Amino acid sequence: MGQAVTDALVEYAQPTPGMKVLDLASGTGEPAISLAARVGEQGHVTALDLSAELLEIASERAHARGLKNFTALVSDAHSLSFPDNYFDLTTSRFGVMFFSNVVAALQGVRRVLRPGARACFVVWGDFNQPYWQSMMGVVHRMVGGTLLEPDGPNPFRFAEPGSLSHLMRAAGFDAVEEETRTVAWTWPGTAEEVWEQAKAVTVPFRPLLERVSPGMWPKVDAEVCAAISNYSDGEKIQFGASVVLASGKK
Could you report the per-residue pLDDT of 127-182, keeping only the tens digit for each?
999 999 999 999 999 999 999 999 999 999 999 999 999 999 999 999 999 999 99
pLDDT-above-90 percentage for the chain? 98
Domains of the chain: which residue ranges? 3-249
- Cβ distance 109 to 49 under 8 Å? no
Residue 3 — very low, low, confident or very high, per pLDDT cuts 50/70/90?
Answer: very high
The DSSP-derived string for 54-81 is HHHHHHHHHHHTT-SSEEEEE--TTS--
Mean pLDDT along residues 106-112: 98
What was the pLDDT predicted at 11? 98
**Alpha-carbon gap, residue 237 to 69, rounded angstroms:** 35
**Nearest C-alpha neighbor of 82 from the set 49, 108, 45:** 108
With the C-alpha atoms ordered 200, 156, 71, 9, is the resulting torsion angle positive or negative? Answer: positive
- Cβ distance 247 to 124 under 8 Å? no
- Quote the mean pLDDT of the chain: 97
**Alpha-carbon gap, residue 130 to 240, rounded angstroms:** 7
Superfamily of 3-249 according to CATH = Vaccinia Virus protein VP39 (3.40.50.150)
Which 3 state secondary structure label does DSSP give 231? Answer: helix
Omega before 15 within 30 of 0, i.e. cis:
no
Q: To 10 degrees, what angle do helices 163-170 and 102-112 make? A: 60
Mean pLDDT along residues 107-124: 98
Q: What is the pTM of this model?
A: 0.95
What was the pLDDT predicted at 213? 97
